[in-house]
Amino acid sequence: MVENFDAKLNEYARLLVEVGMNVQAGQTARICAPVECAPLARLCAAACYDCGARDVVMEWKDDFITRQRYMKADGAVFSEFPAFMREKFGWYLDQDFCTLSIVGEDPEMLKGVDPARIQTWQRTSGQNTRTFFDALTAGRFQWSVAAHPTAAWAAKVFPDLRGQDAMDALWDAIFAVCRITGDGMAVARWREHVETTARRCEKLNAYNFKSLRYTNALGTDLTVELPEGHIWEGGSERTPKGVEFVANIPTEEIFTAPKWDGVNGRVYAALPLALDGNLVKGFYLDLKGGRIVNVHADEGEEYLRRSIEVDEGSSYLGEAALVPYDSPIRQKGVLFYETLFDENASCHFAFGSAYPTCVKGGADMDEAQQKAAGLNQSVNHVDFMVGTADLSIVGTTHDGREVPVFVNGNFAF
């Protein structure tokens, strides 16, 4: 049994609504959640109304139905995107709205599914929701992602436990890394955490590095050129109206965008990747001129290859994120099989789209201008973890000075 569970769950809901989404009076709030996560979703909906939301729109997902569709639906449906779904995303953008996604899917929900079906749907849905997700990555509205345990996910994370014991263990882990104690002070703790992260971003931005070189004993040796005018972000973001929000809860990362054609070398994954309902293990990528030119995985290689081939931009990197090895999530010693958590236990990259806000003025540029500024373009964005206890990152400034950024897996400053 989780101690003070009800108090912690209510504190968690308030954190997601007041700090994550930061719902403003008169806004329409969208909450997207698996059906198994209804208890938290309902508390969040109530908290949205308490903050003055004009309305709350719920969107439910179901692992069982998702798998059934991939396994049994007519193959043609994966190339189709109904007009009403396009109109729905357009309607959201016409509102003064904010959104929360609650995750809790089975990490192996789509094991055995034809990867071609997954890839086709990624392309179809990505192309038809591009405007919505471009606005999201540009921070034009508040958005946040958080998690709620489900039975299948808990069983994967804690295979030695059964039933409710596994669920309780996962709840304990989530509450701990999200700074939830049941004392009602999580909102205050998070505001302090955001301020601490902002100070570290200021230090990185002051260096204005030309490139970063990553090395470790796994075999990673990767040089990452950074765009002129790149910006390091982390902790929180602000909409054009100045409303602050936290996109991921938890978050320990500070991130920027690599120059899309300026990455060279080999990078090894440090943790398994839960990708499209499948696990990819023991993999590395070779990059030349920014492009992923070679892929190897001990397990799940076909799924990784398919994701890298969703579109042209999927074979280039869009994000470089720094996370200390001694982060609270890594110290918890739990492999979550969920990117929201695992990426905050490890330095990571993402192949696919870059966040426009990672270069000066990027959010106001069109796609051609963003590409010219060094930002990668894609309908895809997949984070994979590379941080290890011995990771070294050395930054090179524009005047040729070398500055240690990470030593033995942690910030050097």
Domain-embedded: residue 392: yes
Verdict on whether the full-model pTM lies above 0.75: yes
First to last CA, the chain: 40
pLDDT of 69: 97
- The answer to whether the beta carbons of residues 376 and 352 sit under 8 Å apart is yes
Decide which of 130, 157, 186 is a domain's last residue: 186
Q: Of 271, 233, 200, which is closest to residue 354 (Cα–Cα)?
A: 233
And the tokens for 322?
A: 């720094």
Same domain, yes or no: 179 and 211:
no
Q: Of 270, 16, 25, which is closest to residue 147 (Cα–Cα)?
A: 16
> What is the Cβ-side half-sphere exposure of residue 51, based on CA atoms within 13 angstroms?
25
Same domain, yes or no: 220 and 138:
no
Dihedral pair phi/psi, residue 405, rounded to 5°: -105, -45
Domain-embedded: residue 352: yes
Same domain, yes or no: 219 and 344:
yes
Same domain, yes or no: 180 and 214:
no
pLDDT of 333: 87
**Structural domain span for residue 299:** 205-232+251-411
From first to last of the 413 residues of the chain, give the pLDDT tens digit.
899 999 999 999 999 999 999 999 999 999 999 999 999 999 999 999 999 999 999 999 999 999 999 999 999 999 999 999 999 999 999 999 999 999 999 999 999 999 999 999 999 999 999 999 999 988 999 999 999 999 999 999 999 999 999 999 999 999 999 999 999 999 999 999 999 999 999 999 999 999 999 999 999 999 999 999 999 999 999 999 999 999 999 999 999 999 999 999 999 999 999 998 899 999 999 999 999 999 999 999 999 999 999 999 999 999 999 999 998 898 888 989 998 999 999 999 999 999 999 999 998 999 999 999 999 999 999 999 999 999 999 999 999 999 999 999 999 98
And the tokens for 164?
A: 């409710």
d(CA 254, CA 76): 41
CATH number assigned to the domain comprising residue 34:
3.40.1830.10
And the tokens for 299?
A: 């397990």
Mean pLDDT, all residues of the chain: 95
Query: Structural domain tally of the chain?
Result: 2
Domain-embedded: residue 266: yes
pLDDT of 276: 83
Same domain, yes or no: 275 and 157:
no
pLDDT of 1: 87
Domain-embedded: residue 61: yes
